[in-house]
Amino acid sequence: MNDTHASPTQEVCSVVVGDTLFGIPIAHVLEILGKPATQPVPLAPYFVGGLVHYRGEVLTAVSLRRLLGMESAKSPEDVLVFENGDGLFGLFVDSVGEVLHVSAADHEPNPATLEARRQALFDGTWKLKDRLLVSLEPERLDPMRLASAFPA
Amino acid sequence: MDDLTREFLLESQEGLDRMERCLTDLEVRPGDAELLADIFRSVHTIKGTTGFLGFSRLEALSHAGENLLGLLRDGKLAANPAIVSGLLSLMDILRGVLRSIETTGAEGESQQQDAAMIARLEKLQLGDTSTAVAEPELAATTVEAPGHPGKTHKPRAPRKRSHQGAPPPADSGEAGPPTEAEELASEPEPEPSPAPAVAAPSLPARPASESPAPETQAPSTSGTADSTLRVDVELLNRMMNLVGELVLTRNQILQATNADAGFAILGRRLDMVTADLRESVMKARMQPVSHVFSRFPRLVRDLALGLDKKVRLEMEGQETELDKSLLEAIRDPLTHSIRNSIDHGIEMPDVRVAQGKAAEGVVRLRACHEGSHVIVEVHDDGAGMSIEKIRQKAVEKQLVPPQRAELMNEREILQLIFLPGFSTAATVTSVSGRGVGMDVVRTNVEKIGGKVEVDSRAGKGTVLRLRIPLTLAIIPALIVRSRGQNFAVPQGSLTELVHLSTGENDGRIERLENAALYRLRGRLLPLVFLDRLLQQSPREPGAPCDIAILNADGRRFGLVVDGLADPEEIVVKPLAAVLREIGLYAGATILGNGEMALILNPGAIAQNAGVSLTAEIEEAADENRAGQHDFLLVETGDRRAALPLETVVRIERIPRSRIERAGSRPVLRFEGALLPLDDAAGDLIRQTDDPEAQTTVVVCRDGQRHVGMTVSQVLDVTGGRQLEEAGSGLVAEGITLLHEKVTCIVSLAAIPPLENLVEQHAEQTL
């Protein structure tokens, strides 16, 4: 599409959590579950939002809100399904938006002023025309990794 | 690794397994030609394929083994323990190399070991003085190609074609390869027409060249190859998963269609097909226990030799089948038990003779089906365990208080060997009996939902009985609710349920400092509150609750929950590692209504709450001392009746619509079989318009059969006292004293069997 640019473009799935717009490379997203039924897990690490039923498997889903220390969502959330070494896992987000085309040229690393936890979670940001799109790498959201990287 | 190599590894493993079995048999029947042929074939197959795949180490080793086996097979040498030992160690080396190929793709290097092994085998060949010297060569040729003296073919299938076209002289010369190529190229043409012309010269050659094939190869493969298929375990696991899904969907459909008569029939059909399919897939995962048993002859032999004992291993029920993963899981506990039997059970030959036993001890391995379980027994006729010594030791180790130990009966004392503290090395040697890691055996078996029992007579021997469920993936569970969330409790650890209605729980739940206790039949039972354990929002004090009384790994406690839902067959889904680490959950599942539930791990909960192990023993001792029978107290219509607790299999709350009629008799399809129902409550006669009406059915065991009884309400489980007739002192039959009231005991035998039912039905239709 943007053949005039020298830098490659990428398709990202945009999701909203709170007031922030996040982008996740579409290639990593296995499936999007619209407001599925969830089951909380008592005593689970704080970042686990609950269990989600996905094609006969029971997925552990990470809550981006909890991970970022935000209040729990008031309404049901959407879930993105990712694959990791261990199997599959889910990610709770407020809502899933459209697929956006972003150019590597518009990408900038995390600002140094960003809080440490977010520094570790975010993979820089893309500058859209009217707002910022924070880049998320599913790899960094793997529950197993989170458990060791961000103990409670 | 390419497919050919993988196939070869599988085949070789199987060959070696077979060889191991045969070798130990060989010691007992040294002259058995069939056995020898079988062993020979295994080695020969390995050798043939290795040469082809270029595994030179394997080839050299198996060649040496084959030479020795050739002599044995031809009767030029008789098998003796030295030879069997030699062949067994050859097998070990071969296994090692196969393992190395499997992991690294290469054979690995061990020149010295190989050379020593080959030298050892060669020496064994010379054991026979008369003819052995010239034999090796002869033996090798007889095997490889008796029809082609001096020719060493690589085993390749299409080769036989060349014999057909080319007369014998051409076959033996240097021109072999080119002619073969020529012929293969021109094959389509000469193949049909010259056949009659060449028939005469080629006929004598053919039987000679092809006869060794059926002799060495065919019997080992052709018999089973046509009717069986190797299937990747992964695929089976996946199928099992999908069937689990189907079971869930079926449950959902059954719940959804209960109301609709038209769908109900379809639903039932789906129910049956699903049950059948599930059974078939489960069968596909089954393997005979011989897969595990087969390694034991060797183990017994080596152990006995090492300890200078004489032990014979007898195996029974090897064809009994068990899920593959379970089979793997019992391998270690069984090995452990057998080792114990030989090490600690069986006495030295002179001791045995002095005691009037045969010098040779017997270890008997037995497997059989019993209901939905497989029983595996390890029985030895050794010294047995001394009850007194176990008692002493347990007191010494402070595992039980002395007063309690005095009151325990033999059975309870024997159970003490499973306590973890009992299995330290010092204990093992100072107590005459066993104890080596018996707690480990028990833990491993209980991990897969099984049970271990032990029975021992001093001087007579010991029986260790493992009770293993047929399958792991689908388990019956009770669904409980806590603060609006579902949890599944495996039925295996559930012993009974107690309901406390509003206000009642204040009085009946007692406290000792922080510990909550419930008085169950006069004994205090520790309680664990699920909401508190899981740090959920606390429930209102005084709200009704249920206590699920659980027995996990010998720990007995009551789990307090908000309420109970129906029992369900659930499919266990694994949890992600981060959730496994919590330790209280055994997995998750999807219920019939589509909701998810976490599966609780009763053992972990008990441990977490600090419930002690000896509780179970106390309880058992208590029950036995009282000498009472336990009864399930039920209300049928307006009467109270007692059902002997040991006969009660299950209490089910089912929709009325599930009860069907055969003739005039109500029947219920239960776990795939037909259950005759006794409508004691008169529930079924009363007409109802409510399609969702439910009824409670108590499923009981009456001898071999199961029967069901409808009841209005289940009241309690309680101990009943025998009543004696005034004056005569005779025990009154059919009645008992429950809660200080005379109560009739239900006679299950009075429920007519189903055969009658069919006859009745036939009469009626006539």
CB pairs under 8 A between A and B: 69
Q: What is the CATH number of domain B628-765?
A: 2.40.50.180
Q: Shortest Cα distance from A16 to chain B (angstroms)?
A: 26
Q: pLDDT grade, residue B471 (50/70/90)? A: low
Could you tell me which residue, A101 or B637, shows the higher pLDDT?
A: A101
Beta carbons of B570 and B559 less than 8 angstroms apart: no
Contact A51 B578 (CB under 8 A): no
What is the reported pLDDT for B713?
80
Q: What are phi and psi of B726, to 5 degrees?
A: -60, 135
Q: pLDDT grade, residue A124 (50/70/90)? A: very high
Average pLDDT in the B370-399 region?
82
| B486 DSSP β-pair partners | B481
Name every chain B residue with its beta carbon within 8 A of the beta carbon of A43. 534-535, 582, 584
What is the reported pLDDT for B1?
64
Q: Shortest Cα distance from B594 to chain A (angstroms)?
A: 9
* CATH superfamily for domain A9-136: CheA-289, Domain 4 (2.40.50.180)
For A84-102, what is each residue's pLDDT tens digit?
876 789 999 999 999 999 9
Name every chain B residue with its beta carbon within 8 A of the beta carbon of A39. 485-486, 588, 595-598
For A32-80, what is each residue's pLDDT tens digit?
998 888 999 999 999 999 999 887 778 999 999 999 989 888 888 999 9
For B318-349, what is each residue's pLDDT tens digit?
888 888 888 888 888 888 888 888 888 888 89
Position B195 pLDDT exceeds 50: no
Position B210 pLDDT exceeds 70: no
What is the reported pLDDT for B691?
65
What is the reported pLDDT for B525?
87
Contact A45 B598 (CB under 8 A): no
Boundaries of every domain in chain A: 9-136
Contact B576 A41 (CB under 8 A): no
Q: Which of A41, A83, A91 to mutate to test the interface with B (most CBs of B within 10 A)?
A: A41
Contact B534 A39 (CB under 8 A): no
Nearest residue on chain A to B537, alpha-carbon basis: A42
What is the reported pLDDT for B223?
44
Nearest residue on chain B to A57, alpha-carbon basis: B573
CB nearest A53 (choices: B576, B577, B590): B590
Q: Which of A33, A38, A43 to mutate to test the interface with B (most CBs of B within 10 A)?
A: A43
Considering only CA atoms, give the Rg of chain A. 15
End-to-end Cα spacing for chain A: 44
Residues of B with CB under 8 A from a CB of A: 241-242, 244-245, 248, 485-486, 534-536, 573-579, 581-582, 584-585, 588-590, 594-598
Contact A41 B597 (CB under 8 A): no
Least confident of A51-65, B645-659, B682-696: B682-696
Length of chain A: 152
CATH class label, B288-469:
alpha beta
Position B224 pLDDT exceeds 60: no
For B261-293, what is each residue's pLDDT tens digit?
777 777 778 878 887 887 788 778 788 888 888
Percent of chain B predicted with pLDDT > 90: 5
Least confident of A2-16, B137-151, B675-689: B137-151
Contact B596 A40 (CB under 8 A): no
Nearest residue on chain B to A89, alpha-carbon basis: B576
- What is the architecture of the domain spanning B233-285? Orthogonal Bundle (1.10)
In this structure, are strands B515-520 and A107-108 parallel, antiparallel, or unpaired? Answer: unpaired
Position B648 pLDDT exceeds 80: yes
Encoded amino acid at B134, one letter: A
Q: Which residues contact B523 (CB under 8 A, 6 or more apart)?
A: B618, B619, B622
Q: Shortest Cα distance from B585 to chain A (angstroms)?
A: 10
What is the reported pLDDT for A21?
94
In this structure, are strands B515-520 and B509-512 parallel, antiparallel, or unpaired? Answer: antiparallel
CB nearest A40 (choices: B241, B485, B595): B485
Beta carbons of B258 and B264 less than 8 angstroms apart: yes
* Average model confidence (pLDDT) across chain A: 88
Name every chain B residue with its beta carbon within 8 A of the beta carbon of A37. 594-596
| B528 DSSP β-pair partners | B559
What is the reported pLDDT for A99?
92
Beta carbons of B64 and B122 less than 8 angstroms apart: yes
CB nearest B584 (choices: A39, A43, A57): A43
What is the reported pLDDT for A40?
92
Nearest residue on chain B to A52, alpha-carbon basis: B596
Same fold for the domain at B490-622 and the one at B628-765?
A: yes
Q: Which of B238, B249, B579 to mutate to test the interface with A (most CBs of A within 10 A)?
A: B579
Average pLDDT in the B88-93 region?
85
What is the reported pLDDT for B276?
83
What is the rounded CA–CA span in Å between residue B278 and residue B233? Answer: 16
Name every chain B residue with its beta carbon within 8 A of the beta carbon of A45. 578
Name every chain B residue with its beta carbon within 8 A of the beta carbon of A40. 485
Contact A60 B578 (CB under 8 A): yes
Contact A41 B582 (CB under 8 A): yes
What is the reported pLDDT for B152?
41
Least confident of A133-147, B313-327, B689-703, B726-740: B726-740
Residue position matching structure tokens 């006729």: B381
Opening angle at CA B154, ends B147 and B205, nearest 5: 20
Residue position matching structure tokens 């307090």: B560
Average pLDDT in the B506-519 region?
78
CB nearest B596 (choices: A43, A58, A87): A58
For B135-176, what is each residue's pLDDT tens digit?
333 333 333 334 444 444 444 444 344 344 334 444 444 443
Position B301 pLDDT exceeds 80: yes
What is the rounded CA–CA span in Å between residue B480 and residue B564? Answer: 4
What is the reported pLDDT for A81?
94
What is the reported pLDDT for B142?
35
Position B314 pLDDT exceeds 60: yes
Write down the H helix ranges in B320-408. 324-340, 349-354, 387-396, 402-407
Contact A39 B595 (CB under 8 A): yes
Q: pLDDT grade, residue B23 (50/70/90)? A: confident
Which CATH number fits the domain B490-622, given the four candidates 2.40.50.180, 3.40.640.10, 3.40.50.1100, 3.20.20.10? 2.40.50.180
Contact A56 B576 (CB under 8 A): no
Boundaries of every domain in chain B: 3-144, 157-220, 233-285, 288-469, 490-622, 628-765
For B400-435, what is each residue's pLDDT tens digit?
778 777 777 777 788 788 876 675 444 443 333 344
What is the rounded CA–CA span in Å between residue B7 and residue B5? Answer: 5
Residues of A with CB under 8 A from a CB of B: 37, 39-45, 48, 51, 53, 56-60, 86-87, 89, 143-144, 146-147
Write down the H helix ranges in B107-211. 111-125, 135-144, 160-165, 168-172, 176-185, 195-210
Residue B664, SS3 per DSSP: coil
* CATH superfamily for domain B3-144: HPT domain (1.20.120.160)
